Structure 1
């Protein structure tokens, strides 16, 4: 009887792990706020990036503000490989990053360990 219980618990854990890593999860999306001097958006770093997807207008200068709430080591950096950005994110401080919006496309960014990901979409 105990072998059946162990088998059922093991199968449930396998299904949960598969869902956690490979399942489709809803992500938060937001568009940047456009003003006379460009566009801006704020990303809160707390167990990931919120919003996880940012939509930006092509050709309009952008200032991305990252505010890290999570003290874990993994989230102490944000890396935009397509733009050559590798910025430190001190806990509780705003860090402003500017990127080039002249070229349309989808660009991924991540933490320093590539465990947490976000995306910007330039249209």
Structure 2
């Protein structure tokens, strides 16, 4: 689900379930502000942590809070993210 805020930031909601991320590939337009909002479920296991290696960002999820990650869109590229064990993966594409 995509949402636009008043400042025209595109926010995409990502469901972090114990079997993967939905959606697992997200595309943003270069130069437009962008954020991912992760919504956790119960019994997260290794998915209670998300690692964005290229962004040098790690976030902790719990089933009581939504977590927002800002995505840089100043240049085209791809940013992979994965659970703490690198079993479940997703990708952000900026083009």
**How many residues are treated as equivalent by the alignment?**
93
1:52 corresponds in structure 2 to 24
Choose which of 98, 111, 118 in structure 1 pairs with 2:70.
98
Confirm whether residue 42 of structure 1 aligns to residue 51 of structure 2: no
TM-score by length of 1: 0.69
Q: Which has the larger radius of gyration?
A: 1
Q: Distance in 1 between matches of 2:59 and 2:41?
A: 16
Match of 2:89 in 1: 117
RMSD after superposition: 1.6
TM-score, reference length from structure 2? 0.87
Unpaired segments ≥5 residues, structure 2: none
Higher helix proportion (structure 1 or 2): 1
Alignment map for 1:1-123 (pairs within 5 Å): 32-37=2-7, 38-46=9-17, 47-123=19-95
Partner SS state of residue 74, structure 1? helix
- Hey, which of these two has a bigger chunk of strand by percent? 2
Unaligned runs of 5+ in 1: 1-29
